[in-house]
Structure 1
Amino acid sequence: MKIIPVLSSLLFFILLMSCQNEDKNSAIHLTPSGKYIKLPLDNNTPVQSDGVQYYHGKNPLLFNLNWAKNSIQIYDINSQSKIKDIEFSTEGPDGVGYVFGIYVHNLDSIFLFNQGIGQMSLADTSGRVYSKIKYKLPEKYTPAFVHNAYFLSNPILIGDKLIVKTHFHGQVTEVKNNEISKKELMYAIDLNTGTTQFLGLKYPKDYLIDGSKYFEPSISAANGKFVVSYFGDHNVYYTDMMDSTLISKSGKSLNLGGELAILSNDADPMALRKYAYASPHYETIVHDPFRKVYLRFAFHQYELDPNVQIHDLRNYSGPFSIQIFDEELNKLSEKSFEKNTYHPFDFFVAKEGLYLSINHPLNPEINEDILAFELIQFN
């Protein structure tokens, strides 16, 4: 396989990266710049992406996932032009199944993840699929959950181990507080043998102490830490030691009020969707390697439009904030964004700043032929 090893072991990785940046970004704020990247779309690619991933190199690239075509478009950021459209077969000798998520480790090692089976494939930017890896699922846990536009938790490649997020089997209204702290967040896949091993990262002890709520996490690994944010918890969590209790740090949003919403045990499907999308909650946390900070998205409470189809509610998201934390997870600032302008699930972090999609369905400036991002600068 053409995988470039990162480090030979997880322990070495943690020790090597454990040194902390000494600069204190005590006054850093986000400001919309009015500058845009606009990438052309064909008629078969949705204007709200199924997920993007930025690749920082001599010529920065953006990879755009399209579920409908089982394809990846590759864009040159500097020229704002599409340079390649790779469509993958689902069956046959080169078939990869339906691609649910991607991880671009390098231009020769693009991981393609399936949702329903313990399998992933490796391809390069020519579209050649040169390896398929089957792996054994831990009992009562899902295959690798790699989604590029939902509670972002990028895989981490360390030597011949790939660390991925997973979900445990269980209904959201049936899991009890005394069970949640025993549930695992991630496992490592041995790319040679297909065996899996839990890392010991789990949910907070009292996450469900007040009742049922979504237990979806977002996980970011950087600087010797695994940093975790949960749907229904104001705190952020971290550890620099595997199989140890996560340490909490206060991270409450100024816009999410006091106690977060609890889910009724008899909630119907519409109530579940309303809770997931319109109740105050936290979603993706991501490390910005250029400014050495973490960004976390916090979603405010709002009223759903009753005319929007239930399957499309997520695209019609409401107002949100982006929090900034330093590398010790001290909160530095928070910027609010009004509803109906930005589509906060399509974004990427680049050297210039944060690029945030402006393709909200209700944005009057939306162009159905363009994947458009505004540069949000750090000041």
Structure 2
Amino acid sequence: MRTLFSLLFCCLLGACNGKKEQVKDICELKATGEVKSFELDSDVRYNAFYLYTFSDETGKDYLSFLNYRTNQLLFYDWKTARFLSKVELDADGPNGVAQVSGYYAKDFNHLYVSSYAYSGLIRVDTTGRIVQKIPYGTTAKGYKVLPSYTPSSHPYIAPVFLEGKLYITQPDIPRFHSVDDTPLTVRIDTTQQVCEELPLTYSLLTSEEKKKSANNSQFSRIFDGKNFVYSFYVSEDIVVASADHSTIKRIKAASRYISSATEEQKDSEAGPRLYLELARYGDLIYDPYRKIYYRFAYPKVDLDRNMNWWGKAVYGRKKFSVLILDKDFQVIGETLFPEGIYNSFVFLVNKDGLYISRDYQVGMGNQSDDYMTFERFELVSKK
């Protein structure tokens, strides 16, 4: 089997020879069978949409997440999966944050939460003390930053900090701003507390994509150290933007398991079920250790009409694949996963591979919610 290094070297060699061809199926994700289990106490409600890993100054890795609908931040030793500590954030008083709505952990010194009661981000420390408040405001062009930004790992819209400036995403809410005039990202100078909208707006969506979104134009956004990359759930294209969004390009990154980009979302009593049935795309994440990108895709499925699907979205989609993109955003492989095992909405990139949750619990009465479990996948060349 060719090594991953040889695999990537061949891709670079082809580019140097001037042959700009899209190479497919030269690599895949392979399950290792290695599983990490993180024990949850009786106070923790399963919802891993606010979950991150980070390292300290010695290189030791940690996992942290927000206990859903509480003000608790939990910390684990990543290597041993041992529980370390729980931070209880006050709702009231001098360090009160009301009710936390979102969470992002960069490291122990940079923990950020959003709150339903504050229009901005709040930086806290491991004692629960408020260290800094970053208020939102109005740009010089009159755009008022929406207070509804909630940092999350699904959809992956974690805040980005570059040279003292904060980059956050904006949802499309027509009653506040024209959708075509709503920026995808706003930049905030955290020292001067000045806001600026970046030039990329929801106008980039085609009329067909807007029709399919049914006022739900969700996307994920990552920063790879050079570019911001957007993955809209209703589009087979990804959008790559320079750091200041002055240069933008759309690149096709389509799944072979989805015949058309997505289907039109229609409001109905079957909404929760349709959300988990219809074909669409998902989060795109960056793997800095292997210099590649993973994009989740969700083929159409038919689900049990007799089951109540309200609240089941926290366990992911029954069927999904992961597209593998190289440094030039070309598809070099796609892995289809077995159905009904993995929670495709919960994932982590680590030095030793991609970790995906094994907590798909829909209709599986024998699975415990006392643990969060992850299986490690390796990127290998395809035979």
Bin of the TM-score, shorter chain as denominator length = 0.7 to 0.9
Between 102-111 and 236-245, the greater mean CA deviation after superposition: 236-245
The letter of the residue matching 2:41 is: D
Match of 1:41 in 2: 40
Match of 1:207 in 2: 206
Q: Report the alpha carbon displacement of residue 348 of structure 1 after superposing the two structures with TM.
A: 0.8
Q: Report the alpha carbon displacement of residue 129 of structure 1 after superposing the two structures with TM.
A: 2.3
Match of 1:320 in 2: 320
Q: Which runs of 5+ in 1 are unaligned?
A: 1-20
Cα pair 2:168 2:186 within 8 Å, conserved = yes
Cα pair 2:234 2:261 within 8 Å, conserved = no
Cα pair 1:204 1:246 within 8 Å, conserved = no
Match of 1:375 in 2: 376
**TM-score with structure 2 setting the length:** 0.83
Match of 2:86 in 1: 85
The letter of the residue matching 1:295 is: Y
Cα separation, 1, equivalents of 2:358 and 2:112:
28
The letter of the residue matching 1:346 is: V
Match of 1:130 in 2: 131
Cα separation, 2, equivalents of 1:343 and 1:291:
23
Q: Report the alpha carbon displacement of residue 195 of structure 1 after superposing the two structures with TM.
A: 2.8
Cα separation, 1, equivalents of 2:107 and 2:173:
32
Q: Report the alpha carbon displacement of residue 216 of structure 1 after superposing the two structures with TM.
A: 1.2
Between 151-160 and 300-309, the greater mean CA deviation after superposition: 300-309
**Structure 1 segments of 4+ aligned residues over 6 angstroms from their partners:** none
Q: Report the alpha carbon displacement of residue 244 of structure 1 after superposing the two structures with TM.
A: 3.6
Q: Does structure 1 residue 24 correspond to structure 2 residue 11?
A: yes
Secondary structure at the residue paired with 1:276?
helix
Q: Report the alpha carbon displacement of residue 188 of structure 1 after superposing the two structures with TM.
A: 1.2
Cα-Cα RMSD: 2.5
Cα separation, 1, equivalents of 2:361 and 2:246:
43
Match of 1:277 in 2: 276
Match of 1:240 in 2: 242
Cα pair 1:47 1:359 within 8 Å, conserved = no
Q: Report the alpha carbon displacement of residue 307 of structure 1 after superposing the two structures with TM.
A: 4.4
CA offsets 1:236-261 (integer angstroms, 9 cap, x no match): 11022634463111111011112421
Cα separation, 2, equivalents of 1:141 and 1:135:
6
Cα pair 1:50 1:66 within 8 Å, conserved = no
Cα pair 2:50 2:104 within 8 Å, conserved = no
CA offsets 1:34-70 (integer angstroms, 9 cap, x no match): 1011111100112342421011342100002112331
Choose the corresponding residue for 1:251, options 250, 253, 256: 253
Match of 2:223 in 1: 221
Cα separation, 1, equivalents of 2:68 and 2:323:
30
Classify 1:204/1:329 alpha carbon distance in 2 versus 1 (closer, same or farther; 3 Å): farther
Cα separation, 1, equivalents of 2:185 and 2:292:
23
Between 213-222 and 283-292, the greater mean CA deviation after superposition: 213-222
The letter of the residue matching 1:89 is: D
Choose the corresponding residue for 1:156, options 157, 160, 164: 160
Classify 1:75/1:120 alpha carbon distance in 2 versus 1 (closer, same or farther; 3 Å): same
Cα separation, 1, equivalents of 2:185 and 2:117:
17
Cα pair 2:272 2:310 within 8 Å, conserved = no
Classify 1:255/1:201 alpha carbon distance in 2 versus 1 (closer, same or farther; 3 Å): same
The letter of the residue matching 1:231 is: Y
Cα separation, 2, equivalents of 1:111 and 1:315:
22
Cα separation, 2, equivalents of 1:307 and 1:92:
47
Q: Report the alpha carbon displacement of residue 289 of structure 1 after superposing the two structures with TM.
A: 0.6
Q: Report the alpha carbon displacement of residue 184 of structure 1 after superposing the two structures with TM.
A: 1.1
The letter of the residue matching 2:219 is: P
Cα pair 1:260 1:281 within 8 Å, conserved = yes
Secondary structure at the residue paired with 2:344?
coil
Cα separation, 1, equivalents of 2:180 and 2:136:
25
CA offsets 1:252-279 (integer angstroms, 9 cap, x no match): 1011112421234xx23x3443443321
Identity fraction in percent: 21
The total of aligned residue pairs comes to 350
Match of 1:100 in 2: 101
Between 72-81 and 297-306, the greater mean CA deviation after superposition: 297-306
Cα separation, 1, equivalents of 2:136 and 2:204:
30
Secondary structure at the residue paired with 1:89?
coil
The letter of the residue matching 1:291 is: R
Cα separation, 2, equivalents of 1:45 and 1:147:
19
Cα separation, 2, equivalents of 1:202 and 1:312:
31
Give the 5 Å matches for 1:284-323: 284-316=283-315, 317-323=317-323
The letter of the residue matching 2:146 is: T
Secondary structure at the residue paired with 1:311?
coil
Match of 1:350 in 2: 350
Cα pair 2:212 2:262 within 8 Å, conserved = no
